[in-house]
Chains A and B, each alone.
Chain A
Amino acid sequence: DGGITQSPKYLFRKEGQNVTLSCEQNLNHDAMYWYRQDPGQGLRLIYYSQIVNDFQKGDIAEGYSVSREKKESFPLTVTSAQKNPTAFYLCASELRDRHYGYTFGSGTRLTVV
């Protein structure tokens, strides 16, 4: 049963710590994306990747880093440089068939404590 899996569902981070959010897909999708959702601000693009070993910054990349070593995996690291990391993070993948857009994971809620 194909899908996109994000883990963990909830994550707590102390000030100054880096944390990594996992995103795995078994849909054989080429492109993968990370979005952040804040109340009243919709979804904002952090990073995206079209192919393995290649990725581009989105609109709010500062304080984040990614890697794409495998087609199936696109982990996001929230670094200590991200000043306001508390948010709901969504990973998505795309088959490049524009009729269906993205398939989203169920999200990770990150809270700084």
Chain B
Amino acid sequence: DQQVKQNSPSLSVQEGRISILNCDYTNSMFDYFLWYKKYPAEGPTFLISISSIKDKNEDGRFTVFLNKSAKHLSLHIVPSQPGDSAVYFCAASDGPGTASKLTFGTGTRLQVTL
């Protein structure tokens, strides 16, 4: 049962345009969400996060939007740059209770073209 879903396995965007990566979740207990970026043969690196008490969080070119009623979050990258080409994973946590272990989506491969 995939609790975190990224339905688009790949996305191609022109340099300078906006990239929008989407993520849906089913577990209503999830209350913290994160985005990671991963290059081939490397570990993922943290990009941006959002708590369920917020609906938007910005960090430079990256903005994450959360729609709790729709159980949907999205990552916007504006403007997109060639170095943004990577696989992006969304992840969700259901609280710090035991370990705040994360449930990951399957990833979306973003390619930013010149």
Residues of A within 8 A of B (CB): 4, 6, 9, 31, 33, 35, 40-45, 48, 50, 56, 58, 88, 90, 92, 94, 96, 98-107, 109
Contact = CB atoms under 8 A, between A and B. Distances in A.
Contacts of B105: 42
B91 interface: yes
B102 interface: yes
Contacts of B9: 40
Given A31-B99, A44-B104, A106-B43, 11 more contacts: A6-B43, A42-B4, A45-B101, A92-B43, A98-B32, A98-B100, A100-B46, A101-B36, A101-B102, A105-B43, A107-B43
Contacts of B106: 40-42
A98 B49 contact: yes
A98 B101 contact: no
B77 to A, nearest CB: 18
A96 B96 contact: yes
B91 A101 contact: yes
A94 to B, nearest CB: 7
Interface in B70-114: 89, 91, 93, 96, 98-107
B107 A104 contact: no
B45 interface: yes
A33 B49 CA distance: 19
Interface string B13-49: 0000000000000000000101010000111111001
A7 B51 CA distance: 34
Contact of A42 (B51, B101, B104): B104
Contact of A94 (B45, B49, B100): B100
B34 A101 contact: yes
A76 to B, nearest CB: 14
Contact of A101 (B46, B98, B107): B46
Contact of B89 (A9, A42, A99, A105): A42
Nearest to A6: B43
Contacts of A106: 41-43
Given A101-B49, A101-B91, A50 B99 contact: yes
**Taking each of B36, B96, B101, which has the highest tally of chain A beta carbons within 10 Å of its own beta carbon?**
B101
